[in-house]
Structure 1
């Protein structure tokens, strides 16, 4: 039993990366020996990375062939270190004060000098994002941003990614940060909720829809100070994405055309370390049956412990009994195995089940300056990603268009439009039995196979009834090859999102702006399994159709003015209106008529359900900054939200305030958070005290 539990636990390692790895550890400090918490350590040329813990220590698995690690921390010079023979690498970083004067993108797309901020912002350019062997931006950021924990739910193509900024903040709710693309909140959730289960195949995250090769810059905002202007939606942090089509064409070039092609291979990282001492059987007796452990493989046991003198046992398929669920006997279905002896040896590990995957990415970017303040940009990319597991693939097309122009008399227009299609296929791939509604999982079925069973060369289906057959004929374990042939999870997404920005310069220091953003997508998910399997003998078909529609509007007035030679002020006041509409339909069918025909009309029983929700939110927000000689800064931010998911009395709103006073030094700034009160929620509770994180709106009041 212990060996089986160990095999299941190691399955996660089998999907972590594509190559063998070397483990290194160490500590990161500054020049004074003080530990640096959240420093980033990245294996150069790979996606393998980590951050230091509260003691400044780290542990990193470096893929084979990688000889350099990159260590970075905000406000310090980045170091590249060549790996030697030692696996313990301590690093000391020097301060780089000049880096703090760079301009970064903050909340609502406001650009400020980093030294004027009282919070942490990490910015990545396109060179750190493009042409990577990952389909989604979440995995590309892994190991590049201090304080951000990014984990893939599996190694399969198109699977989901979990992003957590500065630790978990909710036990039952989401901990994913808010994505904002070209100024508009972007729906990045994983749609496997509301009763629809993916059958053990992990659902994709919707930031998979972003095209990494069309991203000009990514800024990660951490903590309440950085995300106040986004209200409750930014409680888990905010990731700002500026696309190339949204940023406009390069000002110093009339036209620029970029064509990129990349090709990557991926393989399973490792298999569980199987034992080769004992085979299948019952309490030290060799047998094709299974209960706990069989005889050792040592030849000294030949002629006893259930073994013949030649070290063989009865063939697993040599049985006079009927195949479960059918009148056909094993000997009738497989007459070729009747009376055949089966060598009782440790067979080859089932690595032959997997294949070498490959990923092909083609991207084209065109940007042109048309003159008179007008620029046009367009981008297209195609990704074909085949995983290392058979029948796992992702096809994705991204189309983007951007237009920036000066209309007349200080009026400007910026707009972006994006269309995405994606098609993902995956077999059941949970890491244990009872994954999903069928309880089937390729990995558990495969790695749970005893060493004395040659799973790669045994028939997987009854030639008469096409039923699953396996060495445990009476125990409900499905043959992984039958699962691969007869079950599938398919997800098709069609998505459009875009933004229109109008701006008017009233004076050289005062500007009014209006932004309209739209994000809508339809998602069809289908999980199917034929009848005659072991977990659900009658078959199952589940389909889900979802339509998400989000509109986001912002009306703002911004100012930026020097008050003499010593003081300067800047700020923004605005109103934000957001509407989020969701519609879903679900159909589950059971008891299949004809094997192989997976349509709802081919099933006897049907269960239909649907849901619709609408949430409206109005927000009032303001930010103000006062600077004295570019040395002393006073920053204030506030937002108040009125939402349809809170009771109208007493206030029906959530307030978030932030007050920051700091001076520009290499380190040393302090916060003073203003005490705010939240209204009573539906539970009759009142949130008092120092506000460090906003609450999540109760979803049962969505109307």
Structure 2
């Protein structure tokens, strides 16, 4: 029988015989080969992967047995299941989080809390709907500001805190504390709009125009500032500025001037309750004052020694309070506003002297802004929360001007049951002031009338502005008393 088979094989193909033997050996070897982890018992490991910051489930987390290519990923519920040797080590990795190595140790259930990596986050940008993307994958330029940079010099408005920290961003303030702040990214692009970017706070879009001007009466227009100024700077974790016009693809045409993404602080550390207290005091001291002419007094024409030999110039005319009159500090005399009276009640001429520090004498020597805040945060298995309370008080450079603000912020997340998480972000702001001075040209703007006070009149003479009844001390008809504007109109 054997001879017959061999002869038949030989007569057909000797090479085919050897190939058949080879495949037979391989088949037998595979049948008796040990599976992965030869000589070891395998177990099935299951678990859930969540964020250590807010307890959110993390789909798509890569889980690999160390030293092998065996692995899996978490599903949409953040759960996974994998069969591994009982003494294996699992490696968990996810974009934006620090990788973790966990020894199985014979356990069948392993739940993992992923911790954000500061190094990885530097390369990430939170775009629309909270989606995180690598910065290099975006089609537009991104400028980023961390909370540490915002708190180096504390401002009452987060926009002024950003000044000079991002290239291509121009920030201008229209007035003092609490007034409107304009932010233009990469230059103005429209002649009919205010060119302000779209602000997105924790995924919620918010507009902030520069036209929040109101008031009462005639010519008493007050700048009440931007709505973005209501945000407590102490509650901000980071700011990302999307500069390119391509950013409009994420938020529509209203983002054509760019987008400012603001992320607020969340509880992100385990280990019990954390209490943080911050107190800041900032002084604003003028380094340079408005330069106004103080060479000539008020009047419609100039005078010389030859015009009036005795050096006494006729009393000023109310209709000539504008323009340039006689030169000051030249020994000329004139009956001026608030002139003393002789025994007969006649006004006495006084020397025309310049008061170059009128503007400086009117405003306060400094402004002071005090900010005090306290925050309480905790991360537990039941709930993660951060509660912040802050108070800001400001005494401005303009006399009798002030601004006060209280902020309450709450960020909380709770996993009610597996796969069901409830989150909330609350920002409550209360602003008030005893007096917000007018900031528009003409009308009741005290700084304008302080600058227009004739240089031969000491502005401090106007401080006692009450004359009784509805009468107010002024230098002439059509002129406003700046002290009345700051103390009499609130």
Same fold (TM over 0.5): yes
Aligned to 2:272: 254
Aligned to 1:141: 162
Go from structure 1 to structure 2 and tell me whether the alpha carbon gap of 1:346 and 1:362 turns closer, same or farther (over 3 Å shift).
Answer: same
Cα distance, 1:178 vs. partner? Answer: 1.2
Moved more, 363-372 or 212-221: 363-372
Aligned to 1:441: 445
Write the deviation string for residues 144-198 of structure 1: whole angstroms up to 9, x where unpaired: 11211111111x1211101111222322223211111111112433453699898
Write the deviation string for residues 641-663 of structure 1: whole angstroms up to 9, x where unpaired: xxxxxxxxxxxxxxxxxxxxxxx
1:181 maps onto 2:201 in alignment = yes
Cα distance, 1:352 vs. partner? Answer: 1.5
Q: Where do 1:240-319 residues align within 5 Å?
A: 240-244=261-265, 248-285=266-303, 286=313, 287-289=315-317, 290-299=321-330, 302=331, 307=332, 312-317=333-338
Aligned to 1:360: 370
Cα distance, 1:458 vs. partner? Answer: 4.0
Contact 1:402 1:415 in 2 (8 A): yes
Give the distance between the partners of 2:262 and 2:206, measured in 1 at CA.
10
Contact 2:168 2:186 in 1 (8 A): yes
Q: Where do 1:1-12 residues align within 5 Å?
A: none
Aligned to 1:55: none
Aligned to 1:483: 485
Aligned to 1:228: 249
Contact 2:222 2:439 in 1 (8 A): yes
Write the deviation string for residues 246-299 of structure 1: whole angstroms up to 9, x where unpaired: xx3123443221100011111334223344432233422355443532222354
Give the distance between the partners of 1:169 and 1:335, measured in 2 at CA.
68
Contact 2:339 2:350 in 1 (8 A): no
Aligned to 1:125: 146
Aligned residues: 355
Cα distance, 1:131 vs. partner? Answer: 5.8
Write the deviation string for residues 440-465 of structure 1: whole angstroms up to 9, x where unpaired: 32122111122211121246536234
1:151 maps onto 2:155 in alignment = no
Go from structure 1 to structure 2 and tell me whether the alpha carbon gap of 1:116 and 1:282 turns closer, same or farther (over 3 Å shift).
Answer: closer
Give the distance between the partners of 2:234 and 2:219, measured in 1 at CA.
29
- Taking CA–CA contacts closer than 8 Å with sequence separation of 6 or more, which of the two structures ends up with the larger relative contact order? 2
Write the deviation string for residues 2-21 of structure 1: whole angstroms up to 9, x where unpaired: xxxxxxxxxxxxxxxxxxxx
Q: What secondary structure sits across from 2:380 in the alignment?
A: strand
Cα distance, 1:407 vs. partner? Answer: 2.9
Contact 2:215 2:222 in 1 (8 A): no
Aligned to 1:380: 389
Q: What secondary structure sits across from 1:371 in the alignment?
A: coil
Go from structure 1 to structure 2 and tell me whether the alpha carbon gap of 1:339 and 1:187 turns closer, same or farther (over 3 Å shift).
Answer: same
Cα distance, 1:335 vs. partner? Answer: 9.9
Give the distance between the partners of 1:174 and 1:199, measured in 2 at CA.
23
Contact 2:300 2:324 in 1 (8 A): yes
Give the distance between the partners of 1:147 and 1:388, measured in 2 at CA.
30
Query: What TM-score comes out, normalization by structure 2 length?
Result: 0.66
Bigger fraction of residues in helix: 2
Aligned to 1:339: 347
Structure 2 regions of 5+ residues with no counterpart?
A: 1-118, 304-312
Go from structure 1 to structure 2 and tell me whether the alpha carbon gap of 1:335 and 1:116 turns closer, same or farther (over 3 Å shift).
Answer: farther
Q: Where do 1:13-28 residues align within 5 Å?
A: none
Write the deviation string for residues 493-512 of structure 1: whole angstroms up to 9, x where unpaired: xxxxxxxxxxxxxxxxxxxx
Give the distance between the partners of 2:463 and 2:397, measured in 1 at CA.
22
Write the deviation string for residues 193-217 of structure 1: whole angstroms up to 9, x where unpaired: 6998983432311111100001011
Q: Where do 1:525-544 residues align within 5 Å?
A: none
1:163 maps onto 2:183 in alignment = yes
Give the distance between the partners of 1:100 and 1:485, measured in 2 at CA.
51
Q: What secondary structure sits across from 2:252 in the alignment?
A: helix
Give the distance between the partners of 1:336 and 1:465, measured in 2 at CA.
26
Give the distance between the partners of 2:143 and 2:343, measured in 1 at CA.
67
Give the distance between the partners of 2:181 and 2:361, measured in 1 at CA.
27
Contact 2:329 2:354 in 1 (8 A): no
Go from structure 1 to structure 2 and tell me whether the alpha carbon gap of 1:336 and 1:204 turns closer, same or farther (over 3 Å shift).
Answer: farther
Cα distance, 1:128 vs. partner? Answer: 1.1
Q: What secondary structure sits across from 1:281 in the alignment?
A: coil
Aligned to 1:540: none
Query: What TM-score comes out, normalization by structure 1 length?
Result: 0.47
Cα distance, 1:347 vs. partner? Answer: 1.8
Go from structure 1 to structure 2 and tell me whether the alpha carbon gap of 1:223 and 1:483 turns closer, same or farther (over 3 Å shift).
Answer: same
Aligned to 2:127: 106
> Which among 396, 399, 405 is matched to residue 396 of structure 1?
405
Contact 2:446 2:482 in 1 (8 A): yes
Q: What secondary structure sits across from 1:139 in the alignment?
A: helix
Aligned to 2:456: 452
Superposition CA RMSD, Å: 2.9
Go from structure 1 to structure 2 and tell me whether the alpha carbon gap of 1:293 and 1:257 turns closer, same or farther (over 3 Å shift).
Answer: same
Q: What secondary structure sits across from 2:190 in the alignment?
A: coil
Q: What secondary structure sits across from 1:483 in the alignment?
A: helix
Go from structure 1 to structure 2 and tell me whether the alpha carbon gap of 1:191 and 1:273 turns closer, same or farther (over 3 Å shift).
Answer: closer
Cα distance, 1:340 vs. partner? Answer: 3.4
Give the distance between the partners of 2:215 and 2:356, measured in 1 at CA.
40
Contact 2:245 2:256 in 1 (8 A): yes
Aligned to 1:469: 473
Give the distance between the partners of 2:165 and 2:208, measured in 1 at CA.
20
Cα distance, 1:336 vs. partner? Answer: 11
